[in-house]
Amino acid sequence: MEKLKIGIVGAAGYAGGELIRLLLHHPKAEIDFVLSNSQNGKKVKEVHTDLIGETDLVFTQSLKESAQVIFLALPHGRSQQFLQENKIADEVLVIDLSTDFRDEKEDFVYGLTEVFPDKIKSSKRIANPGCFATAIQLALAPAIAQSWIKQSIHVTGITGSTGAGVIPSDTTHFSWRNQNISSYKLFEHQHLHEVKQTFTQLDSDFKEDILFVPYRGNFSRGILITAYFPFKGNLKEAKKEFIEYYKSSSFVHISDDLIDLKQVVNTNKCLLHLEVKSGQLIITSIVDNLLKGAAGQAVQNMNLHLGWEENLGLQLKANAY
């Protein structure tokens, strides 16, 4: 069977490395090129040392016209510039992991797989959601679709250090991050724009505030968010609606038990746990920020667009121990 040829642009970062890892073992994909200006000429395994023994690919600075799918894993603000400077044929599927096209400009559609499958199937330009945005939206989409929310939504979330990207900063330095925790961008996190966009598309009357308090965690991978809002129903009713909403999903699962990050790290899963207390529906959502929050969802979107099983190349076991 002839495999689909894949190009990865910006392949030296965390998300790019995870795309390489996933696609090396995808049964219907073959990596055609990996582009990185900063690592040009180096072997992939010299940069992504977890891939020693897996590949002899070498970073290049050149696009290949033979690629049928191109993933853009560039820093935020660079994808739009890259597409302006490099002509990519209309028939090539482009999946961008940056913030550049999440507002659905320039013919891109928003690639939240479980919520917008029809858009993803029909478009050659897909903007992959942000990591916090994925966790928040999957936690709340069924409630928004049912118009349950009539007041401000309170959300707290914590993310691992890989969410800040591969370029070091003061708040990703080990001596600062270790045994430490801090909040940042209170009520104004950049992912809220895409979250509100989705919620308005699900419910045109949605105008409530999303009061989001994000935290930096002292761990490498994963996101845990908790959202709550006033709810007049009971837990059985809430669970029934969530289970129905995600009945066709390969990766979103409702857990009756409390959930923890190790259940999803190294997987493309999103686990949800629901409780009703003090008149509030409380939803906890967990994802791996580099997989379901980035590279894994990008591959899932490719699979969906091409008519393949969504879990192809994504049947991964959690690092539970």
End-to-end CA distance of the chain: 37
* C-beta atoms surrounding 165 within 10 Å: 14
Element (H, E) at 142: helix 131-145
Length of the chain measured in residues:
321
Structure tokens at 175: 């001596």
3-state secondary structure at position 268: coil
Helix-then-strand count for the chain, H and E: 9, 14
Burial 101-138 (b: 16+ CB within 10 A, else e): bbebeeebbbbbbbbbbebbeebbbbbbbbbbbbbbbb
**DSSP readout, 192-235?**
HHHHHHHHHHH-TT----EEEEEEE-SSSS-EEEEEEEE--S-H
- What's the CA gap between 305 and 97, in Å, rounded? 16
- Whether 131 is catalytic is yes
Catalytic pick from 131, 141, 192, 274? 131
Cα 201–Cα 151–Cα 100 angle in degrees, nearest 5:
40
Q: Which residues are catalytic?
A: 131
